[in-house]
Each structure stands twice: as C-alpha cells, then as structure tokens.
C-alpha cells in the first residue's frame, strides 16, 4: 500500500502497513506475523540465510545495486574480532523519501531485518545511523528498539536463541556525505564525516576498525520477507537481473506524488501516467530524473520506453539509483534545476578531495552566472571539461554526482542554456 496514495498495480510487501499506526507497535507487528521470519532465521545456519538472500537476487537499495547476498558473504568467518552491521538510514539523496516512511510506519520490519542480517553475518552489534533531520522517524525507531529490548527480541538472548545482538539507534547531524558508507562510519566513530580511502574495504576494516557490512534501510526491510518465503518467491517479481519489488519515490509535476511499491522493471511511462495520475494540468513532460539527483537526466523521449529496473534505466541512458523519480514538465527551468542540484552538492561536499571541493563550487558559480544572463558559450565547454575533471578522480562519488546532471543537461537541453546565454530567455520564468 503506497502512502499517501495507493494504486492497484502496486505489490505491497515492504509498504503493506504504511498508514497503519498499529503496525508501529511491537504487539501490532507481532499480530501481523512479525518476527516470525527472525524466529525461522535463528533456527537456520547463518550460511543458509546468506544463501537464501543470494538466491533472491536482492540488490542493494541504497543506489549502487550491489547484490546483497554477495556483500554479506564477504564478511570474514573468523570470530577473532567483533563484527558489525550498519544500517544506513541517512537517506539524503534529493528526491528520496522511502526509508523515512519505512522507519515511520514499520520500524519493527527494519529491526527484524537487521537482526536476521546480524545473525547471518555473525555481528553482535547493529548500528542504525539515522539522518539528523529525521526527528520523527528516529523517535519511532528508537521507541521500537526499546520495546524490542524489553520483549527480549533484542539483547543478550535474542528470542531465546542464545544469540546476543545489540541494536543502537544513532542520529547523525544532518550531512549528505554521511550517507556514503565510510563517511557514515567516520561519523559514527565521532570523527568528521569524510569518506575513507578504499581499500581497505569495510568487510575487512570498517566501523571502529572491525569487519563491517553496511546495508540500506529498504534492503534490510526486505530481508524478513525473503527469509520467510524463500529466495525463489522473491523472484516472481522483477527481471532476472533486478528481482523483487522496489519503493519508487515520485516527486515533481504529477498529480499524485508519493511512495509506490512496484515490481522492478515497471514502465516509467505507466508510473507517471497511470500510477501517479498523469501530469499536473496535463502539461507536457520535459524530463525525468529516474534515480535521485545524482543520476543523468532523461529527456521525455528517453523516458518514453524506459523500464524501471537496474539494467533498463542504464539502457535508457541513466541509472536507477535509489529509484527517486523526479518528474519535470514543460514549465521547468532546467538550468535553474541543475544549478540547484550543483549548489546542493557544493554545500554538502566534505572538502577532502580537491576536484570535488573546488569543482562543485566552481560549477555552481558558473551555473549561477549563466542563470543571471552573464554566461558565455565557452562557459558550457568549461562546465563539460570541469565536470570531466571531477569524474573518477575522487575518493567517493559525490563529485561524479554533480557531473551527471550537468553533463546530461548540457547535452540534452543545450538550447535552454543557449537561450539564457544569448538572449537572457528563461524557461517558465512567468
């Protein structure tokens, strides 16, 4: 069930109890077959759990789409050091609001997923790193963790299994870069939220220098369902390479924006015109950002045949990312939108790597100048070259994230830039 709107084409698994306040409570969750999957998992060998997740083909929902089961199998089996599972609840990608809803409505689903994951990887401590601005979500989750401790679901003897698993809800201070996995670890440890150089990778040296796996909220929330029903069950939705369902966060110029849980591979066109009720005032579609602000912009033509799965969006010329679909109609000023995104990244750059620290700010300055009608055509070449210098040259991919919208918008909407540069004409200025 989507929230605030729902649609009959949805396959509500993770979002089944969105809008149902009782599902938030421990009793309510148990009444909805909650913690059954955990019980089942605790009776299974950790290896078996990992195999089940591998069989489901579940891919990381944080944006990169790395196969979750494979990631779990990287954790060292030796128990000479503490193992940690981190849940990345620092949902900060502009356009994304799925994790917040998962935490607000079904916190126990996430806790259950975390505990199963901890069992599978031999982790004795789970940290749920919440975005600093998520006040309500963090409070709901913290209450749920408290209740689960009281009920013996978390703690020294998880559901009577003898396994000890602790869960800590940790609130960040509100920085985009703390959603990057190693930046998150630094922040969790009390350091500056700056991504670390890899290698070493987190499975070898992660939080507090120990073997660590980090998963997105939505990924972990899907785990109980996969364990309860088996990997094959999960594959009934989606494609071979992108199995399962996914929450799509739709924002922008559609009649009914919101979260919709749909099978992967769902046509983008149907999402906009059917599920979301079409464009506001039936205006024409201009562009779609299919995966959050750091992926290339799709033009209306490219969006036309795009299937919303990992491989489908790549084929259309962009990336699925965390499936945050930002829909823009004909009144949208693309230059302004790109400038807004660039200034977001300039503000959020941690400042470690030179190309990102200087580049994000420079790109923003040039875009602002173009928007103010003081740009030149050489500025467009400079933007393309500068963003090329920012791609693949830094520790994390924040600087690549600026390059994608800038380069794609100049390639696809060059006319809009030129109109501003040559005649000071602005789209949708009225």
Binding site for other proteins (CB under 8 A): 175, 177, 192, 197, 346-355, 357-362, 365-366, 369, 382, 385-386, 388-389, 392-395
Q: Is 84 left (phi over 0), alpha (psi -120 to 50) or beta?
A: beta
Rg (CA), the chain: 22
Q: Nearer Cβ to other proteins, position 309 or 366?
A: 366
Element housing 82 (H / E): none
**Separation of alpha carbons 294 and 399, rounded Å:** 9
- The pair of three-digit structure tokens given for residue 345, joined into one six-digit string: 């990244």
**Separation of alpha carbons 286 and 310, rounded Å:** 22
* Cis peptide preceding 219, ω within 30 of 0: no
Closest CA to 245 of 23, 61, 33: 61
Q: Nearer Cβ to other proteins, position 341 or 350?
A: 350
Q: What are the residues whose beta carbons fall under 8 Å from the beta carbon of 82, sequence distance 6 or more? A: 123, 124, 125, 208, 210
CB of 401 to other proteins, least distance (A): 14
CB of 372 to other proteins, least distance (A): 11
- The pair of three-digit structure tokens given for residue 85, joined into one six-digit string: 């599972």
Q: What are phi and psi of 374, to 5 degrees?
A: -110, 25
CB of 341 to other proteins, least distance (A): 15
Q: Nearer Cβ to other proteins, position 359 or 405?
A: 359
Q: Residue 358: CA atoms inside 13 Å, Cβ hemisphere, count?
A: 6
CB of 120 to other proteins, least distance (A): 30
Element housing 292 (H / E): none
- The pair of three-digit structure tokens given for residue 150, joined into one six-digit string: 């009281």
CB of 182 to other proteins, least distance (A): 12
Q: Nearer Cβ to other proteins, position 161 or 389?
A: 389
Please report how the helices 398-412 and 414-423 are oriented relative to each other, as an axis angle in degrees rounded to 10. 80
Q: Nearer Cβ to other proteins, position 239 or 393?
A: 393
CB of 342 to other proteins, least distance (A): 12
**Separation of alpha carbons 48 and 58, rounded Å:** 15
Q: Nearer Cβ to other proteins, position 231 or 359?
A: 359
Q: What are phi and psi of 81, to 5 degrees?
A: -130, 155
The greatest distance separating any two alpha carbons of the chain, rounded to the nearest whole angstrom, comes to: 73
CB of 354 to other proteins, least distance (A): 5
Contact 84, 127 (CB under 8 A): yes
CB of 176 to other proteins, least distance (A): 10
CB of 326 to other proteins, least distance (A): 23
Q: Nearer Cβ to other proteins, position 192 or 414?
A: 192
Q: Nearer Cβ to other proteins, position 164 or 347?
A: 347
Q: Nearer Cβ to other proteins, position 361 or 418?
A: 361
């Amino acid at each position: 069930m989507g929230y605030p709107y729902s649609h009959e084409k949805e396959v509500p698994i993770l979002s089944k109890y969105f809008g149902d306040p009782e599902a938030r409570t421990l009793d309510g969750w148990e009444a909805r077959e909650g913690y059954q999957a955990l019980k089942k998992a605790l009776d299974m060998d950790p290896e078996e759990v990992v195999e089940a997740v591998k069989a489901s083909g579940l891919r990381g929902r944080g944006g990169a789409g790395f196969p979750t089961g494979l990631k779990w199998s990287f954790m060292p089996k030796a128990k000479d050091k503490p193992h940690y599972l981190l849940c990345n609840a620092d949902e900060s990608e502009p356009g994304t609001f799925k994790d917040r809803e998962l935490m607000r409505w079904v916190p126990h689903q996430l806790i259950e997923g975390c505990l199963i994951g901890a069992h599978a990887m031999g982790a004795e401590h789970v940290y749920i790193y919440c975005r600093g601005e998520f006040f309500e979500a963090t409070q709901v989750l913290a209450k749920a963790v408290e209740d689960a401790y009281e009920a013996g679901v978390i703690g020294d003897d998880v559901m009577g299994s003898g396994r000890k698993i602790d869960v800590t809800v940790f609130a960040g201070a509100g920085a985009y870069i703390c959603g990057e996995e190693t930046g998150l670890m630094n922040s969790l440890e009390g350091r500056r939220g700056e991504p670390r150089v890899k290698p070493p990778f987190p499975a070898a040296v992660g939080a507090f220098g120990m073997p660590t796996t980090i998963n997105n909220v939505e990924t972990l929330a899907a785990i109980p369902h996969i364990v309860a029903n088996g990997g094959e069950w999960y594959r009934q939705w989606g494609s071979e390479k992108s199995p399962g369902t996914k929450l799509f966060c739709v924002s922008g110029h559609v009649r009914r924006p919101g979260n919709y849980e749909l099978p992967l591979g769902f046509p983008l066109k149907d999402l906009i015109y059917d599920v979301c009720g079409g464009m506001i005032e039936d205006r024409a579609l201009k562009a779609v950002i299919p995966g959050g602000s750091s992926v290339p912009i799709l033009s209306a033509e490219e969006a036309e045949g795009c299937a919303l799965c990992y491989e489908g969006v790549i084929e259309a010329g962009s990336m699925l990312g965390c499936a945050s679909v930002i829909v823009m109609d004909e009144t949208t000023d693309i230059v302004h939108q790109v400038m807004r995104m660039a200034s977001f990244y300039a503000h959020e750059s941690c400042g470690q790597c030179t190309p990102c620290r200087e580049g994000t700010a420079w790109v923003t300055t040039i875009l602002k100048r173009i928007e103010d009608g003081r740009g030149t055509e050489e500025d467009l070449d400079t933007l393309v070259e500068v963003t090329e210098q920012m791609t693949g040259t830094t520790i994390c991919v924040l600087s690549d994230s600026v390059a994608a919208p800038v380069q794609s918008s100049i390639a696809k909407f060059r006319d809009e830039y030129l109109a501003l540069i040559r005649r000071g004409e602005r789209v949708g200025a009225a």
